[in-house]
Each structure stands twice: as structure tokens, then as C-alpha cells.
Chains A and B, each alone.
Chain A
């Protein structure tokens, strides 16, 4: 901006130019300070949770609002990890989320490809029906779905969480819009080379849509990891619970020990936090491109 003003001699007077420039500089400084204040407010709960978790239990009870401790300790973490069922819940959460993400990509990318690139009778109707599914919030279905899974004898298995999560209209449309953005000649020339439709989908189109795959994988994974109501209903055995359910349902028989509670909260949040740090760019790009929520 500065160079721009300098190379334009017709600027009315250098005085106003400097003034505007200063105003912009002050404004930026103002922006930074507002942002810093907000960021501090936003970080406090996270830091406070971590801080509480590394203080000795007795200190937390006697002086609950002190930030500083002279005896930082990892006792709370050690206790939570050894006494609790956290490791098993980690595994359950991970397997459920990974299964859901992988299968959602397969199922929804196939459907997205069919809807976007294959011309067949009933395509419009199918698209409309999938679109209609966007309007059904899963919360509305908890009662009939519970009865359904009880009837299938699948309650307390991973499938009770994975299967209903697979037909995700959003993912179909993410893939569909991605596939329709790819050049049409790719499909046509492959058809002329005698490639079957499934081969076109799996060998030509899928390798090209890594951004869509990663967006769907990340979001399905995060969504599955964080989902609460449905897992709360169907995972009633402590062996099969996911992290959010386990942490909310199973209590410490010895009562509330804040440091341990905060340690388990930190541990429960940690995996996705790491995922976020690793894939920050892709997550942000994914949100910007799709608006999945």
C-alpha cells in the first residue's frame, strides 16, 4: 500500500497520505490488541484445565483458584490412565471413527460419482432423495433407530455407531461437486479405451480427488469422535464406550478429584487436538470449501 501511494504523485497532499497511513497503522494496532484480548479469554479455559490437572489434589481443594503451584505433578494423569478404562475407550473411539471415515469415503464417493458423472434413468430422483436426507436431523431418529438396532442385536457393537453414520448426504454432495469439477474428457477418453465405469471411478477419478477425500475423512472422523447422544444410547457396556460417553457416564468411585477430572478432560481432548495441529490447513480449507457442520 505504501509503495502504491508513493508512486502516485497525484495524491492530493503528502500530509493526508501520511495521516491515512497512520490511521491504518493505528487501526492495525487496535485490531491486534482486541484480538489478543479475545485470544486470552479463549485460551484461559484450556490453560486452566491443564493447570489444574498438574497441581496436587490437596492444593486444588484448599486453594481452587490459584494458578501457580510449587509442586507440579503428573499424578492425576498417571491415576486416570492406570485406574480408568481410558485406553480401551481411546481404542473404541479411534476404531469407530476410522471405520466410519473410511467407509463413508467409499460409500459416498461412489454415490457422488454416480450422481455427478453417470447418466442413468432415475438420477434426478435419486439426487432429490439424497438432498431430502439433508433435512432429517439424526436426533429425530433416535427412538426408531434404537429399536432397529436392538432388533438387529447390534447394540453395544461398533456397527451401531458406524452404520447409521455412513449414508451422509453432505459427503455425497462434496464428492459430487468435486467430480463435476473434473474435466469431462477424462471420462470420455477412458470410456473409449474400454474402461468400465467402476474402473473409471476407482482408478481415474478417485486418485484425483484427494482434497475431497481428506476433507470428508477429517470431518467424518472429528464428527464421529465427538458425537455424543447416539453413542450414549447404544454403547451401554463399559467395554465398548467411546471417550465422550465413557467420560460422562463412568464416575470415580472415590468422588470428584478435580485434578483427575481435568486430566481426563485433557486426555479426552488431546487426540483431536493433535489431529487439528497436524491438519490445520486441510481442516480450515475443508470448512471453507464445504461448510460441513
Chain B
């Protein structure tokens, strides 16, 4: 909006200059043009052609999107490099995007914009929505078989989760549960280790409180840590792990019905809050960097986080190990888990050759998934999972059963990794843990926000 006020308009014409004559501006323009020419020469003109004419990528180039940073990121780069070495004829253009909601929004936009990546990573918890939105290409059994990818060679739970309405849409790469990391030295001093030097079973809420208090006595600051700030997904995983032990569920009937057990949810939230603001056993104002610093520098004994954080701490001199999250509420064994999987986003322009090359990349990444296992994930590809090398890998091989018993986020078009569902749950959990709202208020907030989604007709599925 503006009020044009060209007060100098009247005076200007007297200063006539030849428009083509030499002037400061045109000299600058020439310099700028020179700079652009240089830039153009150095970057090649592929992007300019794509920008001006919308031309697609060259036939020998594959674009692969993932959402891995940190330890996962560096492992994925190594896997990509192995693929490149085996397939020097393919130009692999790997892109890392921001994890979570932005990634899936971006993926959907790219598919709608007719320029999707050839291969992309997804969480299996996200698959039903992507498939219902007609955003994925179904993978034909014979195409998969040609690359040796058949059901019997994958973790069954993960392979099944890759199907929607009987069609295979995804090839699972791993299963990654939420676990407990522990600092060996601190836990030894706190008397938490058994004779073998592993953490002794912790039972009941009192047991966990006592263990954290013992660790706090050793560190002098906090006993344990779980991320609170700006990471709703981790907050949800922590909540889901505990709430599931009470047998609690959140959604039913593809997300159209809320079956949250208010009393159980409030009980879990009250316990989480007791650990932070209540007893100050864990920090209540902490972000991802802070969590890493606390655990890496031996300022806490226990850390609740995903297995994928393993490389972060392997990179330090810290002596630590991992174990399942203690079953503090005593119900059936439950912990949060999800799987990464590879998909081919829908692309009308994909010909048979490109599909074949893309599936070749999928297979190549599976074959390299021993590297992926080093990052803490349980590989879904049996060739790797059954290998001697993986069996020797500790502590990874010890939590394979957790992967086989994986229960994914509840179905619903707004559910899955980094989804509105996880945000709603996680923000409420974080607010309770930080002492900003009471457990009951958090439950009410969850109900209100979920109801906004559960009561609406799903925007995906139905008529395509």
C-alpha cells in the first residue's frame, strides 16, 4: 500500500540524460551481468533451463529426498556414496530436507507440482495418508521381484505396514524404537548396574524416580533428560511409550473417533511433570542441543530418546549403553516405534527405465543398510538383519524384538511422524512437562484439538 508522493517529479526532467549514454548505473549493470555470466558458467545451465522452460532432469539423473540430519544424515550419505560407487552411470542428486511436517508438506507440493523426487523416504506411519492422497506409485510385485525385493526378505511387521488396501507402496528400510540411553559410569556410581555391567531392570514409577534421584546425586544437577522444547514428536514418543504401558490408545476407526483415556493420560502427564518441574529430576527447559550437551558431557545418567541418536554419542568419548524404556506402569510391553521406508512419489512422467533405475536405488540403499544399522536402527532387510556382522553389533542386535513388536502411530489422515497429531500430542505434553499447564488442562487441550480433526471428513481418499 502506498501514497505516491513524487515531489521531485517536476524538477527531474531538466536533468535530461541520454538513456543509452554511459552512466554509473549501466556500468554497474554491466558488472552485474558479468557476475551472472560467471555464476552461470560455474553452475551449469541445467537449473536455468528447468527454471525457464520447466525441462525435467536428464535421464541418467535420479533425485532422492530424505529427512535425515546428524548421525542419520552422515550414515545416509555413506549409503548414497556406496550406491554411487556401484552405479557410476547414474547421477544421484540426494537432498536433505527439514524433518517432520515441512518435509511431508514439501513432498506433497512437489508431487502436485509435477516435479517430485524419483525416490523419497517416508515414515511408515505416514504411508496411509500419502497413499489415500493418491500421491504414491503402487509398486508392482514383479518389478520388486526383479530387484530381489520380496516379502520374505523383510521384517514382517514393517513389510505389512508398507501396504495400503492390499497394494504395496513402500519398501521398509528399518524399524526404530524409542529407548533409554544410560551413562555407564554414572549408573555404576549410582548403583544401578548389575553384575554384568548392564543396567538392572527398573520397575514402577517409584523405581524410575529412585534411579533418577540416584543419578542426580552423582551428577549434582539432573538425573536424566528428555527433550521438551520445540520437539513435539519426541514429547509424543515419550508420552506414547508410557501411556501404551497403561494400555492406552488415542484414536480409532482411521482417526474418526477419539478413544483417549482421560484418567490414564492425566496419570502419565502428571508423572512426566513430576519428573521435571515436580522433583526436578529432569530439566523442564531444554532443547535438542541442550539434551545432547547434557548427556554427552556426563551431566545426566539417563536419556530417553530414539535409537537414531546412537551415532551422536558414539562420536564422543562417553561410555554409554542402551536398554528398553523401563516398564514403569507395568502393563504389556510397549514403546514408541516407527519405520523409515522408501517410496516412489507419483509422477506421470516416469517411464519404465526411470522406474527401474529408481528401484535399483532402493535396492542399493537396502544393501548398504548395515551402515544404517550402525546408526542405531534395526534394519528391515533380512540379508543384513540375519548377517553375522549385524548379530555382532551391540547394542543394536539386542533390541530387534522391540522392532518386531512395533506398534505404529494410530491410523488417521492427520496422524503419523511429524504430523498434526504428533504436534497436538507433543505440544500438550511439553506444556505439561514445562509446568505451563496442568495435566488435566493438557488432556482437555488434546481432546479439543483432536476433535477438530476427528470430526471432519478426511480430505484424502474417496474420489481421486
Q: Do chains A and B touch in the complex (CB under 8 A)?
A: yes
Residues in A lying within 8 Å of B, measured CB to CB: 87-88, 90-92, 94-96, 134-135, 146, 150, 153-159, 170, 173-174, 176-178, 180-183, 186, 206-212, 214, 233-234, 236-240, 248-256, 278, 285, 289-293
CB distance from A99 to the nearest CB of B (A): 9
Which one of B9, B47, B113 has the highest number of Cβ atoms from chain A below 10 Å of its Cβ?
B113
Q: How far apart sit A157 and B7, CA to CA, in the bound complex (Å)?
A: 39
A249 near B97 with CB under 8 A, answer yes
B110 near A237 with CB under 8 A, answer yes
Can you report 12 A-B residue pairs in the complex whose CB atoms are below 8 A from each other? A88-B47, A91-B43, A95-B48, A174-B2, A181-B10, A207-B19, A208-B13, A238-B93, A249-B97, A251-B69, A253-B77, A291-B3
- The interface residues of chain B lying within 8 Å CB-to-CB of A212 are 6
Residue B441 is within 8 A (CB to CB) of chain A in the complex? no
B39 near A178 with CB under 8 A, answer no
Q: How far apart sit A156 and B49, CA to CA, in the bound complex (Å)?
A: 11
B contact residues, range = 35 or more
Q: Which of B161-216 contact A (CB under 8 A)?
A: none
A290 near B1 with CB under 8 A, answer no
B113 near A254 with CB under 8 A, answer no
Residue B436 is within 8 A (CB to CB) of chain A in the complex? no
Interface pick from B51-59, B134-142, B252-260, B451-459: B51-59
CB distance from A88 to the nearest CB of B (A): 5
Which one of A154, A173, A210, A292 has the highest number of Cβ atoms from chain B below 10 Å of its Cβ?
A210
Select from chain A the residue with minimum beta-carbon distance to B76. Answer: A253
- The interface residues of chain A lying within 8 Å CB-to-CB of B318 are none
- The interface residues of chain B lying within 8 Å CB-to-CB of A289 are 4-8
Per CB-CB distance, the 6 closest pairs between chain A and chain B, nearest first, are: A181-B9, A253-B73, A155-B113, A236-B110, A255-B70, A177-B4
B39 near A90 with CB under 8 A, answer yes
CB distance from B68 to the nearest CB of A (A): 6
Contact partner of B95 among A158, A238, A254, CB < 8 A? A238
A156 near B106 with CB under 8 A, answer no
Q: Which of B1-44 contact A (CB under 8 A)?
A: 1-10, 12-13, 16-19, 25, 28, 36, 39-40, 42-43
Q: How far apart sit A25 and B53, CA to CA, in the bound complex (Å)?
A: 63
B17 near A210 with CB under 8 A, answer yes
A237 near B7 with CB under 8 A, answer no
Given A210-B17, A238-B95, A291-B5: A92 in contact with B51 (beta carbons within 8 A): yes
Q: How far apart sit A236 and B18, CA to CA, in the bound complex (Å)?
A: 43
Which one of A94, A214, A253, A285 has the highest number of Cβ atoms from chain B below 10 Å of its Cβ?
A253
What are the interface flags for B90-115 relative to A under an 8 Å C-beta threshold, 1 for contact and 0 otherwise? Answer: 00011111110010001001101111
Q: How far apart sit A210 and B57, CA to CA, in the bound complex (Å)?
A: 41
Residue B393 is within 8 A (CB to CB) of chain A in the complex? no
- The interface residues of chain A lying within 8 Å CB-to-CB of B48 are 91-92, 95
Q: How far apart sit A136 and B359, CA to CA, in the bound complex (Å)?
A: 47
B73 near A254 with CB under 8 A, answer yes
Contact partner of A233 among B9, B93, B99, B109, CB < 8 A? B109
A253 near B110 with CB under 8 A, answer no
Q: How far apart sit A88 and B2, CA to CA, in the bound complex (Å)?
A: 34
A134 near B115 with CB under 8 A, answer no
Given A253-B68, A254-B70, A255-B69: A292 in contact with B2 (beta carbons within 8 A): yes
Residue B46 is within 8 A (CB to CB) of chain A in the complex? yes
Residue B230 is within 8 A (CB to CB) of chain A in the complex? no
- The interface residues of chain B lying within 8 Å CB-to-CB of A146 are 112
- The interface residues of chain B lying within 8 Å CB-to-CB of A248 are 98
Select from chain B the residue with minimum beta-carbon distance to A209. Answer: B12
- The interface residues of chain A lying within 8 Å CB-to-CB of B109 are 233-234, 236
